[in-house]
Amino acid sequence: MVIVCVLVLVAGTGYYWRHDRLQDEVKLASSKEDSSSSVKSESPLGDLSSFREIEEDTLSLVNAGDLSGAKSRVDDLEYTWDNAEAKLKPMNQEKWTEIDDSIDKVLRELRAVHQDPEACKASLESSLAILNGSQNEANTSVTSASPLGDLSSFHKIEEDTLSLVNAGNLSGAKSRVDDLESAWDNAEAKLKPMNQAKWTDIDDSIDKVLSQLRAKHQDAKACKASLESALAALN
């Protein structure tokens, strides 16, 4: 009888222990889902990858000299963006307007009577930069995983500078890159101790950008390559 009671007691204890353990697992899973949702809610307009894909396709066509194909492809951008307006605009009207303005510029350039390949390219790169910037905001809640935290301000300056280079405005790019140097130098005391190796990696890439854009005889391709490399280091 004593043995039976002990077995019943052990079995009962095991049951409640297992029950509590399962409840903890359910709570943990729920917590992870909530955490995932909070990451998504950080994005002003949610997932914009479909629009980014169309713009990247269009830019590839422009770069290949197929302006007719690019003009046709950009129709898909207008169609999908207009169809998403009712859903996206109420989520964040300011961000929606910023992207909408950039898309309008893309449409104007590609539908111009006399298309300018460089202007088409510049408008697409500018619009992509805005879309990518919005996506970076979506990842704000996980920036703690970044060795140096949130680097979006430097990213924005480099993207602006690259757009100017692509538009052939090397003088404007040289002026804009001054902001990069100033902002990066001012942040050194804070960022460098966080991860010296990563800081040095980015610092070297920025030095190269400054060197190319401030060269006596600027080379547009070299300037573009250094900026793309610096953006990759930031990413």
In terms of Cα–Cα distance, which of 142, 131, 117, 155 is closest to 235? Answer: 155
pLDDT digits (tens, 9 = 90+) for 186-209: 988 888 888 888 899 999 999 999
Instruction: List the structure tokens of 231.
Output: 């953006």
Instruction: List the structure tokens of 235.
Output: 């990413």
pLDDT at 48: 87
Task: Give dist(CA 115, CA 108) in Å, integer.
Answer: 9
Does this model's pTM top 0.85? My answer is no
Averaged pLDDT score across all residues of the chain: 80
Instruction: List the structure tokens of 70.
Output: 């690019």
Query: Which sequence spans correspond to the domains of the chain?
Result: 46-137, 147-235
Mean pLDDT of 52-69: 91
Place of tokens 């010296």: 196
